[in-house]
Amino acid sequence: MIYKFTLEDVILKDSLEAVSQYQKSSPRNQFVIVGGIANQLYTYSVFPALSRPTTDLDIDSDNYINFATFRDDVASVISKSLQRYSPKTSDKHHIFQIEVKDEDATPLLIHSYKFSVNAYERNKKSLERQVANAHWVNIPNFDSQVLVVRPEEVLYAKLDRLRKVDKGNRIPEELKEMYERIRERDWIPLADEDLKQWLVNLIREKQMLPGAYDEGELEFKKKLDHYRSSKDIYDVSLLITLALQEKLNIDESYYQEILKSEGIYT
């Protein structure tokens, strides 16, 4: 079975190229790649087989973006070179979205988080930091680059999400030790994990999630928390493995600056 999407997939590379064209042409609203695709872009050249498939291509801007701006300024440019994938722009509950579909009608969703004015002001410094320090990263097998948040920002985003799950006491027991290692920056044991088997387990876990609805809402939420926590810890472990092999530069001092600016002291 083919699991979608990774940087092996043409639709994802075409979408990254479309985002790159927007990034290079827009003087007003800069966007950077964040999330799971950022992780793939930093790790694919060394460990292509360890790319965690995702149907989301997440982008963030340092400007306040309403739907009219997203539709008319952002999506119109990105969609122009993706017509073969039948792009559709929509305003969802928490996100602005461009949906494209591959030849099997599997959707790839280009997402931008939708902030209220107040929420944007609360997050403005973080967004500005992400964009100001972003890196241009090669799109595999394309003569092009895309602007991506630094790997330290990816690490922080994973830590932040795990911290929020932990506040609700929802991190599964078997994952707590690895979460604590991330929180304490005890990196070396994370690189000793069997990432290949972990990825197989994650894919299987994701496949089984829809069936968990039949077991009741509480059981579904429990399994969803497990999957989300496990995939975030996996992404961190993959980045750290590359860093410890000196195949990816992670600047501890910059990471410390992020934690300090976000009010997190570990």
- pLDDT (tens digit, 9 = 90+) per residue, 12-63? 999 999 999 999 998 778 999 999 999 999 999 999 999 999 999 999 999 9
Could you tell me which residue, 121 or 216, shows the higher pLDDT? 121
- pLDDT (tens digit, 9 = 90+) per residue, 223-246? 999 999 999 999 999 999 999 999
- φ, ψ of residue 18 in degrees (nearest 5): -65, -40
Give me the pLDDT at residue 266, please: 57
Domain assignment of residue 84, yes or no: yes
Segments forming the whole domain that contains residue 257: 153-261
The C-alpha atoms of residue 9 and residue 201 are separated, in whole angstroms, by: 21
> In the chain, what are the helix, strand and coil shares in percent, each to the nearest 5?
60, 15, 30
Domain assignment of residue 81, yes or no: yes
User: Do 214 and 112 fall within a single domain?
Assistant: no
- pLDDT (tens digit, 9 = 90+) per residue, 89-134? 999 999 999 999 999 999 999 999 999 999 999 999 999 999 999 9
User: Do 54 and 100 fall within a single domain?
Assistant: yes
What is the mean predicted confidence (pLDDT) over 59-68? 97
Give me the pLDDT at residue 1, please: 58
User: Do 14 and 142 fall within a single domain?
Assistant: yes
User: Do 57 and 72 fall within a single domain?
Assistant: yes
Q: pLDDT above 90 covers what percent of the chain?
A: 90
The CATH number covering residue 114 comes to 3.30.460
Give me the pLDDT at residue 27, please: 72
Domain tally, the chain: 2
pLDDT of residue 2 exceeding 80, the answer is no
Strand bridging mode 145-148 / 95-101: unpaired
DSSP 6: S
Give me the pLDDT at residue 211, please: 87
pLDDT of residue 265 exceeding 90, the answer is no
Buried b / exposed e along 155-186 (16+ C-beta atoms within 10 A): bbbbbeebeebeeeeebeeebeebbebbeeee
Look up residue 166 and give its amino acid.
Answer: D
User: Do 219 and 235 fall within a single domain?
Assistant: yes
User: Do 105 and 199 fall within a single domain?
Assistant: no
Domain end call among 100, 127, 149: 149
Domain assignment of residue 3, yes or no: no
User: Do 115 and 218 fall within a single domain?
Assistant: no
User: Do 254 and 178 fall within a single domain?
Assistant: yes
Domain end call among 149, 169, 186: 149
User: Do 73 and 35 fall within a single domain?
Assistant: yes
- φ, ψ of residue 185 in degrees (nearest 5): 60, 40
